[in-house]
A and B are shown apart, each in its own frame.
Chain A
């Protein structure tokens, strides 16, 4: 069943992709094939494979329980939030919390997760920023 749903999504994606290819505007430069032909080919392969998934699905994969699903959902949310606040509050502070959250969810005690967060954030800051000179996000406090 999962493969059938996946095939359905794939087919929608392929249709959307081919439609999006039809609205590509020509520029003043032209060549024989044009900018649309290759995307059409790609879209066709996507569509054919998706139809195959619908008719010949594989065995059901082992989906996680609802609880694990929410685990992944929240981890994704935390990562997106991390990306969003990174330029606002700076690297050091946001990394402490993002690491602590992930470490905690992977089964560490809350206090030790926070310690890991501080250690990871500080460690990365020292190695990558102070020693190797990578530019990390600067918050209002300058780090």
Chain B
């Protein structure tokens, strides 16, 4: 078994004291960020990237730290869903439906530990799925030439709006905006200066970290400035938790739900344009249809309604790593941010990553397994600690988030211009969010723009200027079909899906997963 020996090497990398410590810190910070409403996995990872780089961590340690944050945030989101009925991040919103009623019945502790176990199971199976599936996908990806890569990037942009997108023009606009920003700077093929207007700060292009931190973290601060009420935030002491461990019969009853949630979640994570929010949504609706057709217990504190979406959400976050690592094409906001980590470290994700840097890939996967156990330990006995964090009022938290963003960007660029640019991106992000233009395609455009163009130009050079090369192989044609279907189908089904998801939640101002 080649995979097992590779995984063994991975564990050797992940089990060094430094990496173990980083995984622990990542899990802890991630759970914290997931639990705090307003700080989700995407902006949580975003503000930590510059800091991880300024610390001078190597590729594997930074990746371990940041993906642990990612997994941790997925766990943490449920805490505020259950205790406060406010989803800590978008994928956790389905957990509110049955988690909060459980908390009201005095069963918060059971809901928390049950969802913790469900999260663990979902994430664990998804990580196993990643081990099995990613190398297979790599084998397919090795058949890709430049033309197929160009089409693959098109698939990523076409499907990114997702099934819930109501206005595909806005997704396309966002992607073009990101691609446009990526063009700024000197052209990688010929060295011509593009869109720099002889401004020296722009010669190297715009650092994608500035855009990411501005669009994700700072725009959140602006949204909060707009929305805040003077007496917002929980006022009373820490919410009552009750008994921590669920009884075995309840757990047993939930096992099939967890299994179904995990399977659905993993697949929606792997598929482009679906992501963790859809994973938890599908898991919850399927569960409701399977075990509670009459709608008698779901929505009133049924433990299965907590277990299924949590398993789905965490399985999806593991599944989303498959296309990101194997193809270099992320399917969700947070994996886009993780892609930024790889690019910043000069690691090109995709099939070559598995052959050139096996230590990075397998070290990361091993760290995910270890992190998962740490998270289980943190999230069941220590859950009381995290519930206390929820008492920090957002009016204090948000300025701290802003300042940490500034510190991160300033410490890697040391330039006032770049910090101001970040503020600009923050304002732009706020305006775009008000107009319901999704931000994830913008980020992905900035990240993938140059690679997309390079692949197009390489394909053209190989074909000597014949544009038909873009549809010149069966693989390319299949990818085009996926791209077109992914772009057109939401126009037909988007409004219905969105309406169904929206009818089950109140907030819509949360960045995608």
Contacts and interface: CB of A to CB of B under 8 A. Distances in A.
A30 B190 contact: yes
A58 B180 contact: no
A32 B461 contact: yes
Interface stretch (B123-131, B170-178, B290-298, B336-344): B170-178
Given A79-B402, A103-B396, A107-B232, A32 B423 contact: no
Nearest to B175: A45
What class of interface size applies to chain A in its complex with B? 35 or more
Contact of B406 (A6, A45, A61, A83): A83
A49 interface: yes
What class of interface size applies to chain B in its complex with A? 35 or more
B346 to A, nearest CB: 21
Contacts of B172: 45, 49
A60 to B, nearest CB: 10
Contacts of B457: 31-33, 38
A106 interface: yes
Q: Which of A71, A75, A84 has the most CB of B within 10 A?
A: A75
Nearest to B218: A79
A58 B416 CA distance: 37
Contact of A134 (B187, B228, B394, B411): B411
A46 B181 CA distance: 12
Given A45-B176, A102-B398, A108-B395, A71 B420 contact: no
A6 B420 contact: no
Given A61-B435, A80-B423, A128-B411, A29 B191 contact: yes
Contacts of A105: 225
A99 B302 CA distance: 43
A49 B170 contact: yes
A134 B54 contact: yes
Interface string A30-50: 111111001100110110011
A12 interface: no
B445 to A, nearest CB: 9
Contacts of B430: 72
Interface string A54-76: 00101001111000100110011
A80 B32 CA distance: 29
B51 interface: yes
B183 interface: yes
B61 to A, nearest CB: 14
A13 to B, nearest CB: 8
Given A20-B195, A98-B403, A71 B180 contact: no
Contact of A128 (B51, B177, B190, B453): B51
Interface in A88-138: 91, 95, 98-99, 102-103, 105-108, 116, 120-121, 124, 128, 132-137
Contact of A53 (B169, B191, B225, B452): B169
Interface string B153-178: 00000000000001101101101110
B189 A35 contact: yes
Interface string B424-452: 00110010001110000000000000001
B179 interface: yes
B190 A26 contact: yes
Nearest to B166: A58
Given A32-B464, A68-B226, A107-B228, A136 B411 contact: yes
Contacts of A71: 225-226
Nearest to B420: A83
Contacts of B414: 135
Contacts of B21: none
A135 B54 contact: yes
B436 A58 contact: yes
A20 B194 CA distance: 8
Contacts of B360: none
A49 B176 contact: yes
B399 A3 contact: no
B180 A39 contact: yes
A120 B419 CA distance: 19
B435 A6 contact: yes
Contacts of B434: 61-63
Contacts of A33: 456-457, 460-461, 465
A126 to B, nearest CB: 12
Please give me the 6 A-B residue pairs with the lowest Cβ-Cβ distance, nearest first.
Answer: A106-B395, A83-B419, A102-B399, A49-B173, A45-B176, A107-B230
Interface of A: 2-3, 6, 10, 17, 20-21, 24-27, 29-35, 38-39, 42-43, 45-46, 49-50, 52-53, 56, 58, 61-64, 68, 71-72, 75-76, 79-80, 82-84, 86-87, 91, 95, 98-99, 102-103, 105-108, 116, 120-121, 124, 128, 132-137
23 contacts: A2-B435, A3-B435, A21-B195, A24-B187, A27-B190, A31-B189, A33-B465, A35-B192, A42-B176, A43-B176, A45-B173, A45-B176, A75-B225, A86-B416, A107-B231, A107-B232, A108-B395, A120-B400, A124-B403, A128-B51, A132-B51, A134-B51, A135-B54
